[in-house]
């Protein structure tokens, strides 16, 4: 018998003493038996797993739950590359199976962890899921797994987690790293599986490009990742971003002063400059005029201000020229007008 086979057999035998109280370990022993060619024993272990587990596993049910929970996690995070593909997620069977296998291994690892450090380094979402893994129905497991994968992205472990576990058990640390790597691969596969469901490459490019442009503008307008995700969840992201841009660009200078006077935008300028010397107000007005001219030149000659302009993503170029810089010009114009009105009142 080869050393590798002997090691697997020893592992299967050692597991045999513990599987009675841990149904998931039947899977591990069954796989070891399968690799050794003990197919009858492997089938028997799998049958025992289904019999002793409170909720037998259904790939279809898990996939349905996974597809239901994943977008919710993505929306709560707002950071995932899946945010703008979430509308196209169907029933990702392949990804669901990868995630199920990884989380099953994680549940086994936690139960075998004599020092209890593995559970400590998991995120709350993963910890709750794997601790209850054997008792949950397939669809519920899928929904919780989808939510965790969608929300966490690649941040599955706390910083320094592997080192902390390795200080107690090197083998557990290696196994945990391998499991997390498999989960990360599943996340990458999910992007591809979703894109494959869209099918037409031009449509995929359109979805991704539009999503990235909206996300960039949202961040420039001050929306957090979570706010972007929640707006996307209720189907109001694009509308809100467009309205914010239009509102920022549409205000006339006179409206800006009235808004500031009534405690709205730029309201802080009025008490700040009301008692300032006239020369200081005039100096600030000239500074705003300089900024306005500079931004107008950025729009006309971007390469002059950004030597690496031609290396920027075309979507970023478009957003800067047509959205951000015009919006900043309008903002500086509003601030200048507030100060100019204050100056006029002083003369």
21 pLDDT above the threshold of 80: no
Phi, psi of 37 (to 5 degrees): 85, 5
The structure tokens 């497991």 sit at 141
pLDDT at 1: 42
Highest-confidence range of 152-156, 169-173, 302-306, 343-347, by mean pLDDT?
Answer: 302-306
pLDDT at 2: 45
Per-residue pLDDT averaged across 258-272, rounded?
83
Mean predicted lDDT score pLDDT of the chain: 77
- Going 147 to 151 to 153 to 159, the CA torsion angle's sign is negative
196 pLDDT above the threshold of 50: yes
Residue predicted with more confidence, 138 or 48: 138
pLDDT in tens, 146-166: 888 888 776 766 667 777 788
Q: Which of 41-45, 155-159, 291-295 has the lowest mean pLDDT?
A: 155-159
Q: Which of 56-60, 124-128, 261-265 has the lowest mean pLDDT?
A: 56-60
310 pLDDT above the threshold of 80: yes
Q: Grade residue 286 by pLDDT with cuts at 50, 70 and 90.
A: very high
Per-residue pLDDT averaged across 316-345, rounded?
86
Side-chain-facing half-sphere of 9: CA atoms under 13 Å: 9
pLDDT in tens, 83-123: 777 777 766 766 777 788 888 888 888 877 777 777 777 77
Q: Grade residue 250 by pLDDT with cuts at 50, 70 and 90.
A: low
Phi, psi of 103 (to 5 degrees): -70, -30
SS3 82: coil
Residue predicted with more confidence, 57 or 316: 316
pLDDT at 158: 66
pLDDT at 297: 92
- The angle subtended at Cα 300 by Cα 285 and Cα 298, nearest 5°, is 50
**Structural domain spans, the chain:** 3-52, 59-199, 251-346
Q: Grade residue 247 by pLDDT with cuts at 50, 70 and 90.
A: low
Q: Grade residue 324 by pLDDT with cuts at 50, 70 and 90.
A: confident
pLDDT in tens, 205-224: 777 777 777 777 777 677 88
Beta strand spans in the chain (E): none
Instruction: Note whether 97 and 195 are within 8 A (CB).
Output: no
Instruction: Note whether 134 and 54 are within 8 A (CB).
Output: yes
Percentage of residues in the chain with pLDDT exceeding 90?
A: 5
Put residue 123 in one of left, alpha, beta given phi > 0 → left and psi -120 to 50 → alpha.
Answer: beta
The Cα 27–Cα 324 span in angstroms is 55
């Amino acid at each position: 018998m080869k050393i590798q086979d002997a090691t697997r057999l020893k592992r299967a035998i050692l597991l045999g003493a513990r599987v009675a109280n841990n149904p998931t370990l039947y899977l591990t022993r069954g796989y070891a038996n399968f690799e050794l060619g003990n197919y009858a024993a492997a089938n028997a272990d799998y049958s025992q797993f289904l019999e002793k587990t409170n909720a037998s596993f259904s790939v279809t049910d898990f996939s349905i739950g996974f597809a239901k929970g994943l977008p919710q996690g993505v929306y709560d995070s707002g950071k995932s590359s899946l945010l703008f593909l979430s509308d196209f997620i169907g029933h990702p069977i392949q990804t669901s199976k990868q995630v199920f296998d990884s989380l099953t291994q994680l549940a086994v690892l936690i139960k075998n962890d004599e020092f209890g450090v593995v559970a400590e380094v998991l995120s709350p979402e993963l910890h709750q899921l794997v601790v209850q893994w054997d008792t949950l129905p397939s669809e519920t497991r899928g929904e919780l797994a989808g939510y965790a994968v969608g929300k966490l992205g690649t941040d599955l472990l706390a910083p320094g987690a592997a080192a902390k576990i390795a200080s107690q058990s090197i083998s557990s640390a290696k196994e945990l790293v391998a499991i997390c790597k498999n989960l990360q691969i599943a996340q990458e596969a999910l992007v591809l599986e979703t894109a494959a469901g869209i099918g037409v490459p031009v449509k995929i490019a359109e979805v991704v490009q539009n999503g990235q442009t909206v996300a960039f503008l949202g961040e420039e307008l001050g929306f957090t990742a979570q706010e972007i995700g929640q707006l996307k969840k209720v189907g109001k992201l694009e509308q809100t971003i467009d309205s914010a841009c239009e509102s920022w660009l549409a205000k006339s200078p006179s409206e800006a002063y009235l808004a500031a006077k009534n405690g709205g935008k730029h309201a802080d300028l009025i008490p700040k400059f009301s008692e300032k010397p006239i020369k200081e107000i005039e100096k600030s007005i000239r500074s705003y005029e300089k900024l306005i001219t500079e931004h107008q030149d950025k729009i006309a000659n971007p390469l002059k201000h950004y030597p690496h302009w031609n290396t920027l993503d075309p979507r970023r170029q478009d957003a800067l020229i047509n959205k951000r810089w015009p919006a900043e010009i309008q903002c500086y114009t509003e601030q200048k007008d507030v100060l100019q009105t204050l100056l006029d009142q002083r003369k």
